[in-house]
Amino acid sequence: MHNTFVLVFVVLIAVGFDFTNGFHDTANAVAPTVATGALKPRTAVILSSALNLVGAFLSLKVAATVASGIVSQGDIIMPVVIGGLIGAIVWNVTTWYFGIPSSSSHALIGGIIGAMIAHAGSSAVLWSGIVGKVLAPSIAAPIFALVIAAIATSLARRLTKRSDDATKSAGMRIGQIGSTSLLSIAHGTNDAQKTMGVVTLALVANGTLAQNSATPKWVVLICGLAIAAGTMIGGWRIIRTMGQGFTKLSPTQGFTAQITSSVVILTSSHFGMPLSTTYVATGSILGAGVGTRKRTVRWKLAGRVATAWLITLPCAGVCGALAFYGQRAFGVSFGVVVMTAILIGYCSFIYYHSRKDKINADNVNDKWGEHSEAFEKPLEPVEEPVKV
Amino acid sequence: MTVTPATPLIDWHALVQVLYTSVALGIGLVVLFSVGVHSFSHYRRADSSVALRSLSVTAMGLVALVIAATVVWGFIVIINK
């Protein structure tokens, strides 16, 4: 297939996905750091953005196997990739609007599954792969993180009970900056490579690149820049949910949550069972809340987030399938233009509505309940002082 | 006729390894860092004895070494992905 016109759109949409991936996942690395005041919100986001960019260049072992083991690789065609990317962007933007931390990787997998079912039927989907690569890790990740963070928080609280508050808070905040940095680099390496894989696949499918070619430098650069730019924008709504919504984090809790996230994510990568960064980070924050004496956690909010996780795959799948049918209805070249226009329109609509209750670096740490989440009940303050 | 064993749906072995290692590393690092912070707190106290201060400095040094080693391991995992 040689269609440079479509290829350009694939690259643009892939970069768009990378951008939404960046701002959607900023919270995973920076939410506790912002919530505890270890870094100013803007500084935290800039640091994370720069380290995401560094991460994108650290490892170039791009496995151009997006959704490998989940859909039949031989049936993947360009409109399926485009449909998958559009489905993932729509889901990322929607969940961002509601401040829900959900997995960008699962949104992409869901989008591709939906587009693939629309293209080749359900037999092209390897359902066993979904259980092993999506469902099992989705359940395991937050549970592992929650349990470890709860035990770690409880121990840290007891061990530092007789330390003076100023030293304790300062020490934990320094630790948070370190773990934020490590998480940001890991995210840049992990997630920018996903998009590099998609673009490389498209280039190979178009005949622009030979099979098994190395990823071109310009692909690495634009993917790294896109994820860094997305991170720099800062998904403040999700940062707010993770930093203020689940529980009121003290520096000790913030530190234990971030160390737990870093360790679980890096360990799972090491053993070849990559767990979703978002699920791990969410589980860690919940665990940090459970580990306090009063166990102050908003479980209703956690339940809503878990529900969103459950519907990520089917919802992104429906969007992916619709995007595929749209392309087929209008023909591949014109279809991709129409679908891109609809996507831009939808993103603009969501952005316009988000301005009505704008969350940014200045108000991200406002007391929970002062914005659109006003129906939530306030929590009791934790026993440890947050500011020194 | 040879029978090929079916690949399990879930890689339980990897999952259990992730759990054990994460529990050991996650809790271990937090405990170590907390000991470091507590030691520093003792070190800063004006009424601490010389022996206690020396012990605090040793503990802080050990904690710093272990944390640095973990960060290096983290980088190696990220780069080798």
Q: Does B68 touch chain A (CB under 8 A)?
A: no
Q: Measured between alpha carbons, how far is A273 from A63 in angstroms, rounded to an integer?
A: 15
- Amino acid, res. A137: P
Q: Does A150 touch chain B (CB under 8 A)?
A: no
Give the pLDDT mean for A104-118.
92
- Amino acid, res. A95: T
Mean pLDDT (chain B, rounded): 81
The DSSP bridge partners found for residue A68 are A71
pLDDT at residue B7 tops 50: yes
- A54-67 pLDDT per residue, tens: 888 876 654 445 55
Collapse the DSSP code of A71 into the 3-class scheme (helix H, G, I; strand E, B; otherwise coil) and give the result: strand
At which residue do the structure tokens 């997630």 appear? A191
Tokens describing residue A161: 């009970």
Split at pLDDT 50, 70, 90, the class of B70 is: confident
Give the pLDDT mean for A236-258.
92
Q: Does A267 touch chain B (CB under 8 A)?
A: yes
The reported pLDDT for the residue numbered A32 is 93
Give the pLDDT mean for B12-27.
88
pTM equals: 0.88
Residue A160 to residue B10, Cβ atoms within 8 A: no
Q: Measured between alpha carbons, how far is B66 from B33 in angstroms, rounded to an integer?
A: 9
Q: Which chain B residues contact residue A267 at CB under 8 A? A: 18, 21-22, 25
Give the pLDDT mean for A231-249.
90
User: Which of A166-170, A319-323, B25-29, B44-48 has maximum average pLDDT?
Assistant: A319-323
pLDDT at residue A203 tops 90: no
At which residue do the structure tokens 């559009």 appear? A86
Question: CB-hemisphere CA count at 13 Å for A285?
Answer: 32
The reported pLDDT for the residue numbered A378 is 52
Give the pLDDT mean for B13-34.
89
Tokens describing residue A316: 């992104």
Split at pLDDT 50, 70, 90, the class of A324 is: very high
pLDDT at residue A185 tops 80: yes
Q: Is residue A27 part of a domain?
A: yes
Residue B25 to residue A172, Cβ atoms within 8 A: no
The reported pLDDT for the residue numbered B79 is 75
Cβ contacts of A42 within 8 Å, gap of 6 or more: A234, A361
CA distance B30 to chain A (A): 6
CA distances from A26 to A51, A56, A87, A365 (A): 11, 15, 20, 15
Q: Is residue A29 part of a domain?
A: yes
Percent of chain A with pLDDT over 70: 92
CA distance B1 to chain A (A): 26
Helix residue ranges, H only, chain A = 4-36, 41-58, 78-97, 104-120, 127-130, 136-159, 165-205, 217-233, 236-240, 251-270, 277-290, 299-330, 332-354
- A294-306 pLDDT per residue, tens: 778 899 999 999 9
CB atoms within 10 A of CB A68: 15
The reported pLDDT for the residue numbered A154 is 94
The reported pLDDT for the residue numbered A377 is 52
The mean-pLDDT minimum among A24-33, A86-95, B43-52 falls in B43-52
Q: Is residue A384 part of a domain?
A: no
Q: How far does CA A56 lie from the centroid of its chain?
A: 15
The reported pLDDT for the residue numbered A384 is 52
Tokens describing residue B68: 């640095």
Q: Is residue A198 part of a domain?
A: yes
Give the pLDDT mean for A157-174.
88
The reported pLDDT for the residue numbered A333 is 85
Q: Does A168 touch chain B (CB under 8 A)?
A: yes
Closest alpha carbon within chain B to A134: B10
Residue B15 to residue A132, Cβ atoms within 8 A: no
The reported pLDDT for the residue numbered A92 is 95
CA distance A327 to chain B (A): 34
Q: Which chain A residues contact residue B41 at CB under 8 A? A: 160, 162-164, 167-168
User: Which of A129-138, A222-231, A292-301, B3-12 has maximum average pLDDT?
Assistant: A222-231
CA distance A34 to chain B (A): 20
Tokens describing residue A300: 């209703």
Q: Is residue A377 part of a domain?
A: no
Quote the number of domains for chain A: 1
Split at pLDDT 50, 70, 90, the class of B42 is: confident
pLDDT at residue A315 tops 50: yes
The reported pLDDT for the residue numbered A56 is 83
- Amino acid, res. A201: L
Nearest to A115 by CA among A92, A94, A87: A87
Q: Measured between alpha carbons, how far is A83 from A22 in angstroms, rounded to an integer?
A: 20
Q: Which chain A residues contact residue B29 at CB under 8 A? A: 259, 263
Tokens describing residue B29: 């690092």
Tokens describing residue A181: 């940095």
More confident residue, B19 or B43: B19
Split at pLDDT 50, 70, 90, the class of B44 is: confident
Q: Is residue A163 part of a domain?
A: yes
Q: What's the full length of chain B, in residues?
A: 81
Q: Is residue A374 part of a domain?
A: no
Q: Measured between alpha carbons, how far is A107 from A311 in angstroms, rounded to an integer?
A: 10
CA distance B28 to chain A (A): 8
The reported pLDDT for the residue numbered A207 is 80
CB atoms within 10 A of CB B79: 13
The reported pLDDT for the residue numbered A62 is 43
Domain with A51 in it? 4-357
**ipTM of the assembly?**
0.83
Q: Measured between alpha carbons, how far is B7 from B40 in angstroms, rounded to an integer?
A: 51
Q: Measured between alpha carbons, how far is A141 from A282 in angstroms, rounded to an integer?
A: 9
Phi, psi of A161 (to 5 degrees): -60, -35
At which residue do the structure tokens 């929590």 appear? A379
CB atoms within 10 A of CB A274: 17
